[in-house]
Structure 1
Amino acid sequence: MKRIVLVCVMLLSVPLFSGCQSAYYSAMEKVGIHKREILVDRVEDTQTAQDEAQEEFVSALEQFRKVVNFDGGELEAVYDDMQSAYDDSEAAAESVSGHIRQVEDVAEALFDEWEEELEQYSSTKLRSQSAQALKNTKARYRSLHTSLKRAEAKMQPVLSALRDNTLFLKHNLNARAIGSLKGEFGGIKRDIDRLVLEMKRSIQASDQFIKEMRQ
Structure 2
Amino acid sequence: MIVLVMACLSACSTAYYNSMEKFGVYKRDILVDRVEEARDAQEDTKEQFNSALEQFGSVVNYDGGSLEKIYKRLQSEYDDSVAAAEDLNERIDDIEKVAEDLFEEWQAELNDYSNAQMRRDSAEQLRQTRHECNQLIRAMRRAEDKIPPVLAVFQDQVLYLKHNLNARAISALQDEYISIKTDVAALVAEMERSIDEANVFIEAMQDAS
Which of the five TM-score ranges fits, normalised by the shorter chain? over 0.9
C-alpha spacing 1:142/1:63, structure 2 compared with 1 (3 Å): same
Is 1:201–2:193 an aligned residue pair?
Answer: yes
For the aligned residues, what is the CA RMSD?
Answer: 1.3
Instruction: Report the secondary structure of 2:24's partner residue.
Output: coil
Q: Which runs of 5+ in 2 are unaligned?
A: 1-7
Residue matched to 1:111: 103
C-alpha spacing 1:169/1:17, structure 2 compared with 1 (3 Å): farther
Greater shift in the superposed pair: 199-208 or 138-147: 138-147
Residue matched to 2:3: none
Could you say which structure has the greater relative contact order, defined with CA pairs below 8 angstroms and 6 or more residues apart? 2
C-alpha spacing 1:162/1:21, structure 2 compared with 1 (3 Å): same
Residue matched to 1:81: 73
C-alpha spacing 1:63/1:48, structure 2 compared with 1 (3 Å): same
| Superposition TM-score, scaled by structure 2 size | 0.92
User: Whole-Å Cα distance in 1 between the matches of residues 35 and 107 of structure 2?
Assistant: 22
Residue matched to 1:171: 163
- Structure 1 contact 67–79 (Cα < 8 Å) conserved: no
C-alpha spacing 1:152/1:17, structure 2 compared with 1 (3 Å): farther
What pairs up with 1:92-107 in 2 under 5 angstroms? 92-107=84-99
User: Whole-Å Cα distance in 2 between the matches of residues 109 and 187 of structure 1?
Assistant: 42
- Structure 1 contact 114–134 (Cα < 8 Å) conserved: yes
What percentage of aligned pairs have identical amino acids? 50
Alpha-carbon shift at residue 23 of structure 1 (Å): 1.6
Letter in 1 for 2:31: L
Residue matched to 2:143: 151
Of the candidates 173, 181, 188, which is equivalent to residue 181 of structure 1?
173
- Structure 1 contact 28–34 (Cα < 8 Å) conserved: yes
Higher helix fraction (1 or 2): 2
C-alpha spacing 1:90/1:111, structure 2 compared with 1 (3 Å): same
Residue matched to 2:31: 39
Alpha-carbon shift at residue 162 of structure 1 (Å): 0.5
| Superposition TM-score, scaled by structure 1 size | 0.90
User: Whole-Å Cα distance in 2 between the matches of residues 19 and 158 of structure 1?
Assistant: 38
Alpha-carbon shift at residue 29 of structure 1 (Å): 1.1
